[in-house]
Amino acid sequence: MYLTDTDYIISSRTQRVMSFLLQTVGRKGGAKALGGLPAGAIFLHDARLILASTCCMAPLFRPQMFDAATRTSADVLLMRYDQEMNARTAATFDVLVHVDGNGMLFGDMVLSFDPDDGYWLVPNGTGCSVALGYEGLRLEFDIAHTAWQQRREGVTAAQAQLGRSILPGAF
């Protein structure tokens, strides 16, 4: 564990996870996010986006996501990962997106990557997808992938990239 310049202690795993999340939205850093979110949460003011991560299972931190979103008018992305993350363990995401001024929570989403399309959060079944980018989050009501094979390939690619970032030398 180490002391960051934002006056709280976070683990090296959290640092690697947060670095990966910043990479997915094309950023290098942001301000400390307040409001009861997990330690290490980052507020990207100009993108109106808060990034956070935890090894805790849902629904922990969901009320804090709504509180942070209300106070800042920002969308919130919370990555949930298994403490013993390995090549077969996929992270899940809760994402709170503002739609017509109201926060909508989408839970149990998985990360997908396409070299042409970038990073997306896609549902485990059917439903909305969320594009991740420099300008923040973009909710799409049509699934980001047209075929389940394409979805599986995107999720596998994202999982491998995440694994390489969080567990150096394991992939």
Task: Report the percentage of the chain scoring pLDDT > 70.
Answer: 87
Q: What is the pLDDT of residue 169?
A: 61
Mean pLDDT of 15-37: 92
Query: Within 10 Å of residue 45's Cβ, how many Cβ atoms?
Result: 11
- For the chain, the structural domain boundaries read 2-166
d(CA 150, CA 3): 41
* Mean pLDDT over the full length of the chain: 87
* 127-165: b (≥16 Cβ within 10 Å) or e: ebbbbbeeebbebeeebbbeeeeebeebbebbbebbbeb
pLDDT over 70 (residue 152): yes
**Structural contact between residues 18 and 53, judged by C-beta atoms closer than 8 angstroms:** yes
pTM of the model: 0.89
Amino acid at 70: T
Helix (H, G, I), strand (E, B) or coil at 170: coil
Q: What is the pLDDT of residue 4?
A: 43
**Structural contact between residues 18 and 91, judged by C-beta atoms closer than 8 angstroms:** no
**Higher pLDDT pick, 167 / 52:** 52
Q: pLDDT per residue over 68-107, tens digit each?
A: 999 999 999 999 988 766 555 679 999 999 999 899 999 9
Mean pLDDT of 110-124: 92
Q: What is the pLDDT of residue 87?
A: 52
Mean pLDDT of 16-37: 92
Residue 37 belongs to what H/E stretch?
none
